[in-house]
């Protein structure tokens, strides 16, 4: 259960090597989160991430219990069994859906199957895992489900419309899921970061709509923690993006095409 300050005591990250997910875990461990599950494809990177989180906790009985579980977003037929086993080990206060791939727009336009993989990972996999986790949280009667969307899903851009369309679908799904969970004790929050500087985006042009939208995993983690305390339904990172996108959302397409975005 969450403590008196609303801090989750247990955390499940789908996408266990996600830099945003791990930055969030570090912040919450500092606030006394003591059980962390990292779900992802088995790899040395996943085990290393778990070991580093264990090292953050205090010694003794209050140490951080960090476990890994094999999870594949592209294999939704396994989600109910895999995630069901996690919830069977004890209540989960916070589920963070942090997996996703950027793809390569030029390559994926030429190779439709590659574009399908982006859509299946970012949307289909998240729909499956999100529904399984929401159902488990509802059975508990409490908990938060936080889903990482993207500002790219707010309006399709020439530069990344395949990735953006997958996030648009995920964003709409999460909003609807939040409405479905209203009144059940389950809190659903969608997070819309701008361009996040990570190892995955290193070397890529900062193609977010405007320069003000560039952010970091640590800044997103801070916004997630604040959103949890406020029980927000939507979080923009940086917050100024909410105003920027309110304007861009309604810009006529002939004008939008001319923007350097």
pLDDT tens sequence across 223-233: 999 999 999 99
Those residues with Cβ within 8 angstroms of residue 61's Cβ, 6 or more apart along the chain or in another chain: none
Could you give the CA distance from residue 10 to residue 32 in angstroms, rounded to a whole number?
A: 9
This prediction's pTM = 0.93
Residue 249 has pLDDT above 70, yes or no: yes
Catalytic residue of the set 37, 87, 123, 163: 163
More confident residue, 1 or 238: 238
Strands (E), the chain: 10-14, 35-40, 65-70, 94-97, 143-148, 186-193, 234-237
For 112-126, what is the mean pLDDT?
Answer: 97
For 112-130, what is the mean pLDDT?
Answer: 97
Please give the CATH number for the structural domain made up of 10-257. Answer: 3.40.50.720
Predicted confidence at residue 202, as pLDDT, reads 73
pLDDT tens sequence across 147-181: 999 999 999 889 899 999 999 999 999 999 999 99
Domains of the chain by residue range: 10-257
Residue 37 has pLDDT above 90, yes or no: yes
Is 123 one of the catalytic residues? no
């Amino acid at each position: 259960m969450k403590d008196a300050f609303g801090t989750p005591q247990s955390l499940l990250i789908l996408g266990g090597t996600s830099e945003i997910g791990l930055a969030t875990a570090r912040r919450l461990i500092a606030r006394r989160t003591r059980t962390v599950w990292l779900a992802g494809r088995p790899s040395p990177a996943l085990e290393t991430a778990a070991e580093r989180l264990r090292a953050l906790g205090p010694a003794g009985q209050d140490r951080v219990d960090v476990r890994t579980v094999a999870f594949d977003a592209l294999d939704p037929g396994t989600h109910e069994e895999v995630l069901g086993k996690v919830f069977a080990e004890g209540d989960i206060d916070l589920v963070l859906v942090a997996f996703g791939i950027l793809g390569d727009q030029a390559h994926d336009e030429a190779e439709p199957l590659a574009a399908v993989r982006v859509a299946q990972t970012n949307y289909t996999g998240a729909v499956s895992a999100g529904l399984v986790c929401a159902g488990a949280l509802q059975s508990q009667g409490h908990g938060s489900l936080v889903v990482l969307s993207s500002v790219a899903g707010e309006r399709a851009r020439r530069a990344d419309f395949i990735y953006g369309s997958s996030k648009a679908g995920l964003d709409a799904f999460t909003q609807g899921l939040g409405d479905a969970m209203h009144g059940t004790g389950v809190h659903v929050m969608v997070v819309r970061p701008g361009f996040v500087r990570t190892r995955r985006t290193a070397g890529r042009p900062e193609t977010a709509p405007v320069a003000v939208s560039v952010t970091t995993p640590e800044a997103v983690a801070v916004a997630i923690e604040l959103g949890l305390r406020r029980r927000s339904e939507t979080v923009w990172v940086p917050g100024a993006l909410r105003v920027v996108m309110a304007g861009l959302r309604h810009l006529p397409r002939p004008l939008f095409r001319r923007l350097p975005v």
